[in-house]
Chains A and B, each alone.
Chain A
Amino acid sequence: MKTRIPITIFVALLIFCGGYAALFVAPDEATMHEIQRIFYFHVPLWTAMTIAFSTACFSNIAWLASRRPTFDLLGVASAEVGILCCTGGLITGMLWGKPVWGIWWTWDPRLTSTFILWLLYISYLLLRELIEDPHRRATLSAVFGIFAYLDLPIVLLATTLWPRGQHPQPVLFGGPKSINHTMLMVFFVCMASIVGVMILVLMDRYRLERLRFEADELRVEIESREMDSQPAVQGTAGKGRS
């Protein structure tokens, strides 16, 4: 809690600086002009999503290895926040694609694989909703979470081999060797702001899970005290015939 306020203020500053820089400081891109500035939100959202889903997978493995409730709670929190970032990325992608490509959507490798990933983690949350027993829910959803995460590189590979590329080539990794220095700086500030916001949201979501867990433990305690306080049921063995 003590560190939360300075972190929040710092992230808020980053958001303000990043937003201002993306809209007014970064130079205009040669071909797409102002619409290219969506890049400063779109790519950081994917990075934030990758961090969130990786955290979810790590938590799933850690739960199976240690059975500590922290990891189950962190798993569901990071999966939900990852879905949030993924949704933002898909929407900003469409808002970028429409003016540039003239279409809202295409079954391009990256878009397809991202949409599949989104579906997989929505299924993960649905699975958790539909299993009542907490221990079973944690274990089975952890197994599914690991499968879902392993599927991602395979989906990306399949859709890359599938001949339908529309999405532009990567700018930073594998793209042209030189990128404008100001653009790079603005990109890193925006990246830090969006990843920072993701971490804050994740902390809050984890806190919600932690409180729910506490509430469940209290309910179990109340139920067990109710059962203890009920009179013991008298057996009838040996009493029947007189």
Chain B
Amino acid sequence: MKGLRATFTLFAKECRLEFRTRELLTATVIFSLIIIVFFNFAFDPTPAEARRFGPGLLWIAFFFAGSLMVNPSFAREQINDTLDALRMAPIPSFAVLSAKMLANLLFLSIAEAILVPVFSIFYNVSLAGIVGRLILVLVLGTIGLVTTGTVFSAISAHARMRELLLPVLLLPFLTPLLIAAVSTTISLFGEARELDRTWMIFLIGFDVVFFTTSWLLSDFLAEG
């Protein structure tokens, strides 16, 4: 109970900090928009190609933007030594980690909620009848991304060149998640407009495995 209360208190703190300035959200949305626009100039896709490659483009934009978004999670705690204060607080170390995971999940989800309709308009991809299932896929993929991203942000916070190091650590690691998310989205955008069960189970499995691993190793992250 204490851990849960601490998690939500810290989550509220993260939200207050972010919504005061909205810097992270703005930068994430704009960066993703740039990737989406660049794709058009790089490939000049036909509508059929847009439907085929669109899921991949969308997820690459989210992954790149997400890996930049999770970077400040722990990096900004080093100013004024607030990270040490959090470590010394009488709360479970996983409470700190999970609060940041929840906050990153919220912020990236907001960015995705803005970007998916924009993508659908720019590339003439209809979302009729699949919105609910698309949201489910987005949530599962984003959970995997922010869970591991937040952990790696904690790891790279103490390293030099952390802004470059975090994507280098995170993106190869997320390859299976990318494959699963893209494959599920392709099957959703395709003619059958249905979710691929195997890939959905895979997504859930990825999230569970790495959320559990983060919980088991959170004390060592706090000590690092």
Binding site for B on A (CB under 8 A): 64, 112, 116, 119-120, 123, 126-127, 130-133, 136, 139-140, 142-144, 146-148, 150-151, 154-155, 157-159, 161-162
| Residues B175 and A127 in contact, CB atoms below 8 Å apart | no
Decide if B38 is an interface residue (CB 8 Å cutoff): no
For A126, the chain B residues whose CB sits under 8 A away are 165, 168
Interface size of B by CB at 8 A reads 33
For A148, the chain B residues whose CB sits under 8 A away are 173
Decide if B155 is an interface residue (CB 8 Å cutoff): yes
For B206, the chain A residues whose CB sits under 8 A away are 154
- Report how far A162 CA is from B183 CA in the complex, Å: 8
Binding site for A on B (CB under 8 A): 148, 151-152, 155-156, 158-162, 165, 168-169, 172-173, 175-176, 179-180, 183, 198-199, 202, 205-206, 209-210, 213, 217, 220-221, 223-224
For A140, the chain B residues whose CB sits under 8 A away are 155, 158-159, 221, 224
Chain B residue nearest to A120 in the complex (CB):
B172
- Report how far A162 CA is from B155 CA in the complex, Å: 31
- The DSSP consensus for interface residues of chain A is helix
- The DSSP consensus for interface residues of chain B is helix
| Residues A155 and B224 in contact, CB atoms below 8 Å apart | no
What are 26 A-to-B residue pairs whose CB atoms are below 8 Å?
Answer: A64-B217, A120-B172, A120-B173, A123-B172, A127-B169, A130-B160, A130-B161, A130-B165, A131-B159, A131-B160, A140-B158, A140-B221, A143-B151, A143-B217, A143-B221, A143-B224, A144-B155, A146-B213, A147-B148, A147-B152, A150-B210, A158-B179, A158-B202, A159-B176, A161-B199, A161-B202
- Report how far A194 CA is from B209 CA in the complex, Å: 34
State the Cβ distance, B176 to closest chain A Cβ, in Å: 4
For A151, the chain B residues whose CB sits under 8 A away are 173, 176
- Report how far A132 CA is from B158 CA in the complex, Å: 9
